[in-house]
Structure 1
Amino acid sequence: MGYYDSNNWTQDGVAYYAELLPHISQITLTMWPLTVVPSHLTRLSSSKIYIKTTSDSAARTIVLPGRTAKDAPLSLQQSYQLNSNSKTGSLRVKAEREERKEHISPLPARQLSGCKSVQCSECGVVLLKDNMKYLDLPSENWYEMLDYWHCHKPDHQHGYEGGNAISRDALNPRKSLALVGLTYVMVVGDDICSERIKVSDTLPKMVACSACSCDVGIVDRLDQNIVKLYKWNLSLEPKSISNDITLCRYSLEIFVTEMLLEIIEFHSTHQFGIAALSDEETILCYLWVFNSDISYTSNIQQEPTRAMKVFYTEQPDVCNQEIATETVELPSSALNNIFKVLERRNKELPESLRAFGKWNVSLLHRL
């Protein structure tokens, strides 16, 4: 990725980044490059300000990522801080407390059941046959939680060994019945329009759209008749115009943040190794989820956007070796996509906020 010059982002050469920390109800606005305190600042509403960086520059309206508290002072004299070394100016203001949206899983079985067809998101080719039924799978961590599901005290011994032990293979799709996980739709091969896909000869066996060559899924390692279609490469066509489900898709980073959030919830770890799909599980990038829930706006992202702030590095010695590192596997194409997102968002931050020690700082969007 090339370097992003912030002077190309705005007409007056000044970029901005505003961040809401909902847990402490604080909004921080950073502008750069600046060598003087802005000449004018007016609050237009609880979430909009009007600012001029110099007396002869064009004024601009900035949408903040949250609402400022009614009693919060907002003046250049009281609140604005200028750092002449980094040529950045920052403004901190108290925000109103807000109820964050409940965490929802993207493209659940209910939404898939209400669509006319499941398509390749890149070219619109229909991938699944008609009359499919969809069921949501339990959490990705359901098997690991079995140790905590007891019908008796943990030290109690049964007098027999049951022959119906639950295994990871207990939940498999069947003909015309797809199982929906957090990041994939699992189907049997016969339910895929076979003439519209092609399967690679090498392991892992990737499933690509025959029309645009986009990697839409992967063949299961244990059962060659099962295919997992990646949700981030699927789009849904509504049954009718009046249907409340529109043609929709979610980007890859939404599903990556969903995976990270679920692992954080179950394992209470915030350090991750991102690996390419392979038998070796070679970690190519390390992530530290510093804050899993912020909102931000910028001259690039002008509408309030929910995100997680992450630190990332390719150097394993930067990680805290005393903290468990959970591995997240992604296909190579998805891994490259996430690298590009991390680098691009890093360059969109103020230069003074792009690094934390030896870590690089970036943002990943979430629901």
Structure 2
Amino acid sequence: MYLAEYLPRLKQVSVKAEVGTSESLEAVSLAENVLLIRTPTSTLEVPLPVSHTASTKPTGYSFHDGVLSMTFSTALDTKGSSTFMELARSNAQLWSVSDLVAKTPRDSKNVNMFQFCCSNCHAVIIDSKSLKFIDMPSEFWQEMMDFWHCHKPHEHHHNENDKNYNGKIQPSQNQVYIGSYYLLLSGQSEKCEKCGSSLGIVEQGSTKLYKWRLNLCYKETRETYPPFAAIFYLILDKVNSSAIRKFTFKTKSASTNIWVLNLGLSVSVADIPVLENALKIFYIENPAETEDEVVEVPEE
């Protein structure tokens, strides 16, 4: 088991590798993008998130209880760091408007052609031919709007507000609002008409279809949406909207308290390719009651 991460703000690579308590180290060396750890019986290759250069120098080393820990400094900023805002922008999200426009084909009228289908039976649920797709500004837009309308700092009479805002957003019949993990539309059943599978929920007069219960279909391609992407974007949206890094995700049956430590990391973990723009979090499953803000998460 090993973990190697590139910390762009520190311009540092950190590596931890389990070698074994019965093993002794013979040599540790750097190749172009691999750390080689040699023992009397084997050689462990640890892929590095960034390539080794002449400027890469070891700055820390320890070997205790069979675990090797090393840090390397690199003067070359090979990868730019990402902010929460950059990661949370809609054009970086899977199945956002920008993502759909970029990868789906267009017809003779310059209209992007794609369909959202039931992930169970592949029946067509949404067809792009006659619909307009709009990105939601933020997953937590509603609480921000509630605050703005109730607490306008430049108005002396907060209660005398005649703006036409009723606390909810309602797409028209030919519109689909795209959130971080769902599609919001009107006049649509939350169940697949063909197989009866549940695709989402009806909420405040609109239908919210969960992306992970749909497939995106275009040309000969059928894309699925990994459920973990919903949590990833929820975390980014929550940090951006409320500037907090500790909160609790809660479903009907479980809860997880998380603390967001870092973001924009490049990481390699045993048998997994390098992950880009990763989040680093501490978490506790089913914690005791805390005062941290709760984020409700739909059951999968």
> Where on the TM-score scale, by shorter chain, does this alignment land: which range?
0.7 to 0.9
Shift of 1:139: 1.9
Deviations, residues 142-162 of structure 1 (Å, cap 9, x unaligned): 343344589x96244499763
For residues 108 and 135 of structure 1, what CA distance do their matches in structure 2 show? 8
Check 1:315–1:219 CA distance in 2 against 1; reply closer, same or farther (3 A cut). Answer: closer
Are the counterparts in 2 of residues 297 and 303 from structure 1 also a CA contact under 8 Å?
yes
Residues in 2 aligned to 1:44 and 1:159: alpha-carbon distance in whole angstroms: 66
Q: Is the 8 A contact 2:190 2:200 kept in 1?
A: no
The alignment status of 1:216 with 2:199, answered yes or no, reads yes
Question: What is the Cα deviation at residue 219 of structure 1?
Answer: 1.6
Aligned residue number for residue 53 of structure 1: 38
The 1:194–1:33 alpha-carbon spacing in structure 2 relative to 1, beyond 3 Å, is closer
Q: 1:108 aligns with which of 96, 100, 110?
A: 96
Query: What SS is found at the alignment partner of 1:266?
Result: helix
Query: How far is the alpha carbon of 1:259 from its aligned partner?
Result: 0.9
Query: Pairwise CA RMSD of aligned residues?
Result: 3.2
Amino acid at match of 2:71: R
- 1:180 is aligned to 178
Q: Share of identical aligned residues, percent?
A: 22
What is the identity, as a one-letter code, of the residue corresponding to 2:38? T
Alignment of 1:307-346 (within 5 A): 307-314=278-285, 316-317=287-288, 321=291, 325-333=292-300
Residue 121 of structure 2 contacts residue 195 of structure 2 at CA under 8 Å; is this kept in 1?
Answer: no
SS, match of residue 273 in structure 2:
coil
Once residues 124 and 63 of structure 1 are traced to their aligned partners in structure 2, the CA distance between those partners, rounded to angstroms, is 39
TM-aligned CA deviation for residue 123 of structure 1? 5.0
| Structure having the larger proportion of residues in strand | 2
User: In the TM superposition, what is the alpha-carbon distance from 1:93 to its structure 2 partner?
Assistant: 0.8
What does 1:160-199 align with in structure 2 at a 5 Å threshold? 162=162, 164-169=163-168, 171-190=169-188, 195-196=193-194, 198=196
**1:48: Cα distance to partner?**
2.4
CA distance in 2, matches of 1:304, 1:166: 42
- Per the alignment, residue 133 of structure 1 pairs with 132
1:92 maps to which residue?
71
Distance 1:62 1:109 in 2: 38
C-alpha displacement at 1:60, in angstroms?
4.5
- Contact preservation (8 Å) 2:176, 2:184: yes
Residue correspondences, number: 277
Among residues 55, 69, 72, which one is paired with 2:56 in the alignment?
72
Shift of 1:197: 5.3
Give the TM-score normalised by the residue count of structure 2: 0.77
How far apart, in 2, do the equivalents of 1:228 and 1:188 lie?
A: 9
Whichever residue aligns with residue 189 of structure 1, its letter is G
One-letter amino acid matched to 2:214: L
Alignment partner of 1:262: what SS? helix
Residue aligned with 1:41, SS: strand
Quick one: distance in 2 between partners of 1:72 and 1:105?
Answer: 33
Measure, in 2, the Cα distance between the counterparts of 1:275 and 1:182.
17
Separation in 1, partners of 2:72, 2:158: 61
8 Å contact kept, 2:192–2:199: no
CA contact 1:133–1:177 (8 Å) conserved in 2: yes
Q: Distance in 2 between matches of 1:184 and 1:159?
A: 33
| Inter-CA distance 121–293: structure 2 relative to 1 (3 Å threshold) | farther
CA offsets, 1:65-123, max 9 Å, x none?
Answer: 2244532335xxx8541113xx2111211144221354222211344463421123455
Partner deviation per Cα, 1:10-68 (whole Å, 9 max, x = no partner):
xxxxx2221222221221211114344532333221x223x2431342x3543212244
1:39 maps to which of 20, 26, 33: 26
Q: 1:350 matched to which residue of 2?
A: none
CA deviation after TM superposition for structure 1 residue 230, in Å: 1.0
Q: 4+ runs of 1 displaced by more than 6 Å?
A: none
